[in-house]
Amino acid sequence: MLKKIAPILIITGLLTACVTSPTGRSQLLIMPDAEVDQMGLQSFATLKQQKPISQNPQYNQLVSCVASAITQEVGGGWEVVVFEGSSPNAFALPSNKIGVYTGMITLAAGNQDQLAAVIGHEVGHVLAKHSNERASQELAVNQGLGMVQTMSNPQTAMGQTAMGLLGIGVEYGVLKPYSRTHESEADIIGMDLMAKAGFDPSQSITLWQKMDQASQGQPPIEFTSTHPSHATRIQQLQQHLPQAMALFQQAQAMGKQPRCQ
């Protein structure tokens, strides 16, 4: 009897955990938001202890100004820290934490719109709950939940996860491709966010062109990378640019004209 009930309970749990992302994509979120937020808090506290924090007043003012304009579009209180580091990196964590490395500011040459593209992208990850989704997928795989619905609907996220287990494996078959999905989704969310805040969304394309040049002509191989290739990313942003420009023009008409530089 228990064997008959278990699959029903699992499927019921999966169905109730299915939500829709800001772009309309179906997601599976099992982890409680409070637990994911706590993980974000702990991670950020650890980073602040282990990584040197920039004391450059210009860098801190610039990043704080850009982040403030972006986060005003989504609400909530956000903590922003500039870390010392030559690599062009940035991140945002659940619990509304944003980190930008000085290498990213250098790459953007202090351009507020290009930094807005980066910060908007990272905030997009948080808004779309990508951390929760990734943790939920791995939890479901570890518990074998995905096997239940593989045959009934292999096109769902969990169905594909189980197929990955049966085929070429989780690393290349499921988790990395989903990471590319997250990156592409965050690109679109971030472009819209920066446009709504009054930043020029076309500068996001310029930023990724710079990233392409910084990679010295060696873009990641999409199949084995957690990020889309620069060419793919640029193409997707170019396709979405007309919609973002319409939001930018609306923001300009409303008087949203950030002056962070």
Which residues carry out catalysis? 122
| Closest CA relative to residue 180, chosen from 222, 141, 137 | 222
Six token digits for residue 72: 């005003």
Six token digits for residue 94: 């659940």
| Closest CA relative to residue 156, chosen from 6, 11, 7, 9 | 11
Q: Would you give the end-to-end CA distance of the chain in angstroms?
A: 67
What is the DSSP track for 65-128?
HHHHHHHTTT-S--EEEEEP-SS--EEEETTTEEEEEHHHHHHTTT-HHHHHHHHHHHHHHHHT
Strand, coil or helix: 143: helix
The phi-psi region of residue 88 (left if phi > 0; otherwise alpha if psi is between -120 and 50; otherwise beta) is: beta
Q: Would you call 177 exposed, middle or buried from its count of C-beta atoms within 10 A (0-12, 13-18, 19+)? A: middle
Q: Report how far residue 224's alpha carbon sits from residue 222's, in angstroms, rounded to the nearest whole number.
A: 6
